[in-house]
Structures are given as C-alpha cells and as structure tokens.
Amino acid sequence: MNLETSYIFKSKRLGFRNWKESDIPKMAKISGDAEIMRFFPAVATFEQTKEFVFRMQKMFEERHYCYFAVEELKSKKFIGFIGLCFQDYEAQFTPCTDIGWRLDKKFWNKGYATEGAKRCLEYAFQVLELEKIIATAPKINEPSISVMKKIGMQKKLEFKHFKLKDFPKIEECVCYEIQQ
C-alpha cells in the first residue's frame, strides 16, 4: 500500500495539500494561540476552525485553490496554512484572490512562509492563470508585510478594514498586489 501523501504541489521543503479532517485539531491549536493570533481580533474557537477547514475544502473543489494545508516534507508534520483564497468582502479591491499564511510558531524564522508563498504565486499564475493576487494585513503586522515584500508584491493602498472597525489597533490595513 502506498502511504505517501499526495501533494498538489511541493516547494523545496514544503508540501501543499487539501485539508483532512485530522488537520482540524492541529489547526485549532494554532488558531487558538494568542501569540500567533496577536494581530487578529480574537483567537479562533475549535468550532470556527472546523468551519474554516470545511470552507477551504469547498473552495478547493470549486476553484482548485484554497489556503492549503502545509506539511514540512522532512518530518511530514502539519505546520499551518499558506495559500490562496477568494475574497468578496466589502472593499475597493474585491472581488479578488488573495494570498495568506498562518504557521505554527515552532516553524517561524525558517523562511517557510516566504518559500511557500512564492510557490503558491507560481501555481496561481502558471497553473490557474490568475492575473492578479493581492495580500492584506494590519499595518502593524510586520512579519506578514515582510513576506509580501520578499515575494515581490508592491504596496497598492492603505484602507480601514470594515470587519475590524471595533479594533482600532488593527483596523488600519495595507493592501499589496502582484500581477502575472
């Protein structure tokens, strides 16, 4: 029996795949961590993570992309998500496809987010043939904005995120963009 995980694509050190039910508790631990979620209004509950995973599985079926479940190839460990997500919330740059990332803090500072995001852009432009990808983050989320810059995205605008209007520290956001 072949127990090798089938990835949608790989980068040098990471494998990208659709979500499995067994990822839910692992992602819930990541999204339930106050340090990892310090630029969000709140940590996510187990139920919210379950809904997130189901939403990503559905998006993958419909669009052939989602925020992918990511594994470290050498250990086969699930490390979080990096990927693409269709967005239609109220903003001047939506509807659009964005790129995003959330990794277990044990896997920060290894260059994984940047390596994975570059690989996802390749998939977006060469396989999906999307024309433009955007990324957003609160202005104070420097680690995330640094990834945007390192993968070649350019700052397009600053905006107040309507979903964050009750959270003044993170309401002011930036939108970066990269074209095919």
Which positions lie near ligand COA, rule CB under 6 A? 36, 39, 101-103, 108-114, 137, 141, 143-144, 146-147, 150
Cβ proximity to ligand COA, 62 vs 163, nearer residue = 163
* 68 contacts 20 by C-beta, under 8 angstroms: no
Please give the Cα distance from 180 to 177 (Å, whole number): 10
Single out the residue of 61, 54, 63, 31 nearest to residue 128, CA to CA: 63
Tokens of 33: 């961590």
Please give the Cα distance from 31 to 67 (Å, whole number): 14
Single out the residue of 112, 113, 127 nearest to residue 180, CA to CA: 127
Cβ proximity to ligand COA, 133 vs 137, nearer residue = 137
Give the nearest distance from C-beta 40 to ligand COA in angstroms. 7
Give the nearest distance from C-beta 2 to ligand COA in angstroms. 30
Give the nearest distance from C-beta 129 to ligand COA in angstroms. 25
Question: Phi and psi (nearest 5°) for 103?
Answer: -115, 150
Cβ proximity to ligand COA, 49 vs 141, nearer residue = 141
Give the nearest distance from C-beta 105 to ligand COA in angstroms. 7
Please give the Cα distance from 66 to 73 (Å, whole number): 20
Cβ proximity to ligand COA, 63 vs 139, nearer residue = 139
The DSSP code for 5 is: P
Question: Measured at CB, which residue is nearest to ligand COA?
Answer: 111
Cβ proximity to ligand COA, 9 vs 108, nearer residue = 108
